[in-house]
A and B are shown apart, each in its own frame.
Chain A
């Protein structure tokens, strides 16, 4: 358990509104990740970070942006939410010990 919390845990929002999800970790892990999980697609990487202010795109990054101003926090922003972004979002972290990844509890986002 890497001490990962996500907020909010549940959110319902309307199409076109901005949404920010927060991931907080207490293990001082260097790497942080945002995934989405959808039936029929499994877990897909949205963005990841390999250090403060260092981020890169994953396979489904369109419509999402991220920021990491502190080691412990990684924010995921949907600039203008769409119904296709309804999903469960997971944050994960990894240290340098073989890159084992640890996951947070998830955020269920519904865009109406």
Chain B
């Protein structure tokens, strides 16, 4: 059974700092990996999707990497802003089904 772990569970940083969120998974036979953002009381917003054949994806200040062989992914956020405060969720897929980690709650302080 696939298990997804996100460390740390919570992170507080000052505005402007570059930061890295970690995601690890136990079964490397994944189809893709997806990073989401969730604001309090809201649904999930897809940030980045990395196919299993890819090593990284970038969108604006976000960069996600994937190392299937070691079962790890990182989400890099450059020049963090208070508006980045949210919970970030990692999910891995086997075909059309996703398995989620429990998320990292990020607070960016002005």
- What's the minimum C-beta distance from A20 to chain B, rounded to whole angstroms? 20
Determine whether the beta carbon of B44 is less than 8 Å from that of A103.
yes
Flag whether B31 is at the interface (Cβ < 8 A). Answer: yes
Contact with B along A22-58 (1 / 0, CB 8 A): 0000000001000000001111110010100000001
Q: List the B side residues contacting A50 at CB < 8 Å.
A: 96
Once bound together, how far apart are the Cα atoms of A89 and B96, in whole Å? Answer: 19
Q: Tally A residues with Cβ within 8 Å of B.
A: 22
Flag whether B98 is at the interface (Cβ < 8 A). Answer: yes
Residue of B nearest to A31 (CB): B96
Determine whether the beta carbon of A105 is less than 8 Å from that of B43.
yes
Determine whether the beta carbon of B45 is less than 8 Å from that of A99.
no
Determine whether the beta carbon of B43 is less than 8 Å from that of A100.
no
Flag whether B15 is at the interface (Cβ < 8 A). Answer: no
- What's the minimum C-beta distance from A38 to chain B, rounded to whole angstroms? 10
Flag whether B108 is at the interface (Cβ < 8 A). Answer: no
